[in-house]
Structure 1
Amino acid sequence: MNATLQLMNNSFDSLKKKDPFSDEILALWVPVASYWLFSTFFHLLTKANIPYFEQYRIHSIGDMQKRNKVSMARVLSMVALQQLIQVVLGILVLHPLDPVSYAIREENTINSITAFFFNHYHSIHFAHILAKYIYLVLLPCLQFLSAMFIMDAHQYFFHRLFHMNKFLYKHVHSHHHRLYVPYAFGALYNHPIEGFFMDSLGAAIAIEVTRMTPHMSMLFFTFSTIKTVDDHCGYAFPWDPLQFLFGNNVQYHDIHHQSYGVKRNFSQPFFTIWDKLLGTEMSIKEAEKRGGFKKNTT
Structure 2
Amino acid sequence: MSTVNSTTCLSTVIDEPICFQSSYEPVYYFPRAQLVEGIQDAYITMAAPVIAYWVLSLFFHYLDTCSWKWLEAYRIHPSAEVQSKNLVSRSSVVIAVIFQHIIQTVLGLWWLSSEQHAITTDHSAPIRQIALTIRPLLRLVGVADVQRLRQVAEFAYWWAMPALQMFLAMFIIDSWQYFLHRAMHVNKFLYRQLHSWHHRLYVPYAFGALYNHPLEGFLLDTLGTAMAESLTAMTTRQSMILFTISTLKTVDDHCGYSFPWDPLQIASGNNADYHDIHHQVIGIKSNFSQPFFVHWDTLLGTRMTREDIRLRREGKKNKTQ
What TM-score comes out, normalization by structure 2 length?
A: 0.81
| 1:89 equivalent in structure 2 | 107
Aligned CA RMSD, in angstroms, stands at 1.8
Task: Count matched residues.
Answer: 272
Residue 130 of structure 1 is matched in structure 2 by 152
Select the structure of larger CA radius of gyration.
2
Q: Which residue identity does 1:60 align to in structure 2?
A: P
Of residues 66, 71, 81, the one that matches 2:84 is: 66
Say whether the 8 Å CA contact 1:34–1:225 is kept in structure 2.
Answer: yes
**Contact kept in structure 2, 1:20 and 1:26, CA below 8 Å:** no
> 1:20 and 1:273, CA in 2 relative to 1: closer, same or farther beyond 3 A?
farther
Aligned partner of 1:53 in structure 2 is 71
CA contact (8 A) 1:114 1:124 kept: no
- Encode CA deviations 1:193-215: one digit per residue, 9 max, x unaligned: 11000011110010000011111
Q: 1:246 aligns with which of 243, 258, 268?
A: 268
- Kindly indicate whether the alpha-carbon contact (under 8 Å) linking 2:274 and 2:287 is maintained by their aligned counterparts in 1: yes
Given the alignment of the two structures, is residue 116 of structure 1 paired with residue 133 of structure 2, yes or no? yes
Q: 1:179 aligns with which of 186, 201, 225?
A: 201
Q: Which runs of 5+ in 1 are unaligned?
A: 1-17, 292-298
Q: Give, in whole Å, the separation in 2 of the partners of 1:209 and 1:283.
A: 33
Q: Which has the higher contact order (CA 8 A, sep 6+)?
A: 1
Counterpart-to-counterpart distance in 2, 1:290 and 1:63? 23
Match for residue 159 of structure 1 among 178, 181, 189:
181
Residue in 2 aligned with 1:26? 44
**Alignment partners' CA distance in 2, 1:63 and 1:290:** 23
Task: Output the CA distance in 1 between the equivalents of 2:210 and 2:118.
Answer: 33
For residue 82 of structure 1, what is the amino acid of its counterpart?
Q
What SS is found at the alignment partner of 1:268? coil
Asked if the contact 2:118/2:235 (under 8 Å) is kept, the reply is no
* Distance in 2 separating the partners of 1:290 and 1:55: 24
- Deviations 1:135-172 (CA, angstroms, capped at 9, x unpaired): 00000100000001100000001101111111111111
User: What's the counterpart of residue 26 of structure 2?
Assistant: none
SS at match of 2:189: helix
In structure 2, relative to structure 1, the CA distance for the partners of 1:205 and 1:20 (3 Å cut) is farther
C-alpha distance in structure 1 between counterparts of 2:93 and 2:312, whole Å? 29
Contact 2:174/2:290 (8 A) holds in 1: yes
Q: Kindly state the Cα deviation for residue 20 of structure 1 after the two structures are TM-superposed.
A: 5.9
Change (3 A) 1:117 1:261: closer
Q: Aligned letter for 1:243?
A: Q
Q: Which has the higher helix share?
A: 1
Q: 1:155 to 1:20 in 2, by over 3 A?
A: farther
Over residues 21-79 of structure 1, what are the superposed CA-to-partner deviations in whole Å (9 max), with x where a residue is unaligned?
44322211000100000000000111112111221101111111000000011001100
Q: One-letter code of the match for 1:228?
A: T
Q: Structure 2: give runs of 5+ residues left out of the alignment.
A: 1-35, 314-321
How far apart are residue 263 of structure 1 and its match? 0.7
Pick from 272, 277, 282: which aligns with 1:255?
277
Cα distance in 2 for partners of 1:186, 1:168 equals 20
**What is the percentage of aligned positions where both structures have the same residue?**
48
Cα–Cα, structure 1 residues 23 and 33, in superposed 2: closer, same or farther, change >3 Å?
same
Name the structure with the higher strand share.
Answer: 2
CA distance in 2, matches of 1:243, 1:225: 14
